[in-house]
Chains A and B, each alone.
Chain A
Amino acid sequence: MSSAFLTLVRKDAILEWRQKHTLYGVVLYIGSTVFAVYMMAGQPEASVWNILFWLTQLFVVINSVARSFLQEPAQRFRYYYSLVRPTTFLLAKMCYSVVLQMLMTGISLALFALMLGWPLEKGLLFCAVAGLGSLSLSVVFTFLSAVAARAGQNAALMAILGFPLVTPVLLILSKLATKALSAAIVTGWWQLAGIMLGLDVLIVVMGLILFPFLWHE
């Protein structure tokens, strides 16, 4: 189990590294999105900054994590199916997506700081919430990418399926992040953070239960 898991994660990393153009494509996508946001909003106040950051994260996650299942041809999945258990495969994909999305979140945070300024009181706390956000968003979209790939569809379907599901997640995340914006006390912060973590666990568990049905032909 563990060796197959590590091999699968390594395989994804190597594939990404060999096709550098897609990786650089996502980085360029982040760069141009942040630049477009900057051109329109300038250096906004903290609450607007927060909203713009999470919206950017939503579009970045769709472009980076979407490919986790969509970039490989369908025939290859049949080959994987004969090799590993579906749960191992999904966990490996999710793990790789989380790492990739953390990296992309780091890049977009750096670009936001460079262009839109850094109007935060507690920078480290915001980075922690951003990390939690990339974890939550990437596990949801990894699973939806599997659904879209099995349906033989493109990334547009993933956006249709995913937006209503992640809107509440983004709401919770931006609410969590408000604690980092100012020195004001936010009541019930830990409760909200607990809900977010609980939801992540639920998504992973549901994914592990449902994925074998999705994969089976």
Chain B
Amino acid sequence: MSFKQHWWKWLAATLVMYVTIAGFFIQTPNLRQGGLFQTIRNLFYHVPMWFTMLTLFFVSVWYSVKHLRSFSAETDLKAAAFAKVGLLFSCLGMATGMEWANYTWSGTTGRTGPWTGDPKQVCAALLMLIYFAYFILRSGIKDEEKRGRIAAVYNIFACAMIVPLIFVIPRLVDSLHPGGSQGNPALNPKDSDPHLLIVLYPAFIGWILLGLWITQLVVRMERVKQKLELA
């Protein structure tokens, strides 16, 4: 266990710990606008989840492309593992978002509770459904070689189709979500308080590294499972 090889895991753990604690204690602007107040702290816990999810999904698609070029079992295993952990992070992002919406949006659209039917909530839910469908497709095919190929084709097709929509629709329609229809739905560096950014940027790096770490473990588990099945 040499430090040279594992430095990024130390970095991930340190950063995630730092942003989790600092997220509660640093001074944030107390915004009356949109009823944000202290809930702005959710920025540190909610937005990094989506960045991590998108990173993992893009890596998954990258492995799917590689799979179609090589047809090796390894690339298929990695594509599935990255999608699986990405789906986990999308669940976390959805949960943190809904919990926040429960306090800030509830009642504003005539609907109460955590689900307000906001376009960004809906788009995120669609993205989750697509990856659930990806795993249902995988589980339905017994032949390994066939499964890898068909799953890769669906993964690339779904990504090519949904990614433009996820990036286009939220910018077109009115929304309650910060950022709204004026621009980038995730963050707006020019308009953010610098105090927020000193926690937010480390949070992106920390959570993405943690996501990669979890995926590495999932990949190893899958390899062990395959070996046990063969033995």
Q: What residues of chain A have their CB less than 8 Å away from a CB belonging to chain B?
A: 140, 143, 147, 150-153, 157, 160-161, 163-165, 167-168, 171-172, 188, 192, 195, 199, 202-203, 206-207, 210, 213-214, 216
Contacts and interface: CB of A to CB of B under 8 A. Distances in A.
Most A CB within 10 A of own CB, among B146, B161, B172: B161
Given A160-B133, A199-B161, A213-B68, A147 B154 contact: yes
Contacts of B154: 147, 161
A170 B126 CA distance: 13
Nearest to B69: A213
A203 B164 CA distance: 12
A161 B133 contact: yes
B59 interface: no
B129 A163 contact: yes
B48 to A, nearest CB: 24
Given A151-B141, A161-B137, A167-B126, 13 more contacts: A152-B141, A168-B126, A171-B169, A192-B172, A195-B164, A195-B168, A199-B164, A202-B164, A203-B161, A206-B156, A210-B68, A213-B153, A214-B150
B140 interface: yes
A202 B160 contact: yes
Nearest to B149: A213
A206 B64 CA distance: 14
Contacts of B130: 164-165
Given A163-B129, A164-B129, A151 B153 contact: no
B17 interface: no
A168 B169 contact: yes
A107 to B, nearest CB: 28
Contacts of A165: 130, 158, 161-162
Given A165-B161, A168-B169, A195-B168, A157 B137 contact: yes
B21 interface: no
Given A160-B136, A161-B137, A214-B149, A143 B157 contact: yes
A151 B140 contact: yes
B77 interface: no
A26 B47 CA distance: 46
B128 to A, nearest CB: 8
Contact of B123 (A168, A199, A206): A168
17 contacts: A147-B153, A150-B146, A151-B140, A161-B133, A161-B137, A164-B133, A164-B162, A167-B126, A168-B169, A199-B165, A203-B161, A206-B157, A210-B68, A213-B152, A214-B149, A214-B153, A216-B149
